[in-house]
Amino acid sequence: MDFKVWRKATDEVVRELPYHIAEWVAEFGSLTQKLGHYVDKVRLDLLKEDKVQASPSESQILKLQPQEQAQLREVVLYGPDAPWIFARTLVPVSEEKLILDLGTTPLGSILFSSKELRRESLEVRRLDSNHAMFQQAKNYGLVQDQEQCLWARRSYWQNSQQASDGSQKKLLLLEVFLPASPLY
């Protein structure tokens, strides 16, 4: 199976993956909690918070209007002595309060304790050195080897119920497994 494009993490797709990869990319629970089995306290560095123009695929998933900006949060989560996960979160600016003041608090602490938000989809893929997320990780100094492919997953979250005004909270989370992570 080709993992050079995003694939829904169905049972069939997950069975195609080696176990040591599947146990991380198809983890339906909190990656932060899973990391907690390897370290006493999960360390998170906030790399960037800003309003940005989302990529075309991100805009489509979040149902953004043309030229509508999104609130961005990029972080890195660390294992015992090296960065393990690079994560990018996007929400419509109208929902920026979901992520704006998290600082170094892991997003998973909100997502998995919320009764409102639920994961609508989970997808997996391999990123080659030309992919924008690979390049961004490289720009932050998290990846050095251009020849290496990185595994990634993305999940789309939204309200389990519509608000009285008909709107729904939406959130897109992309997680890239860095070379030092136990996935490899």
Asked, for residue 184, whether it belongs to a domain, the answer is: no
Q: How confident is the model at residue 14 (pLDDT cuts 50, 70, 90)?
A: very high
HEC string of the chain equals: CCCCCCEECCHHHHHCCCHHHHHHHCCCCCHHHHHCCCCCCCEEEEEEEEEECCCHHHHHHHCCCCCCCEEEEEEEEECCCCEEEEEEEEEEHHHHHHCCCCCCCCCHHHHCCCCCEEEEEEEEEEECCCCHHHHHHHHCCCCCCCCCCEEEEEEEEEECCCCCCCCCCEEEEEEEECCCCCCC
Residue 107 annotated as part of some ligand binding site? yes
**Which residue range(s) make up the domain with 138?**
7-177
Asked, for residue 140, whether it belongs to a domain, the answer is: yes
CATH code (residue 29): 3.40.1410.10
Residue 73 annotated as part of some ligand binding site? yes
Asked, for residue 91, whether it belongs to a domain, the answer is: yes
Average pLDDT over residues 165-175: 82
Asked, for residue 33, whether it belongs to a domain, the answer is: yes
The count of structural domains within the chain is 1
Q: What's the whole-model pTM score?
A: 0.92
pLDDT tens-place string over residues 82-137: 999 999 999 999 989 989 989 999 998 889 888 888 899 999 999 999 999 999 99
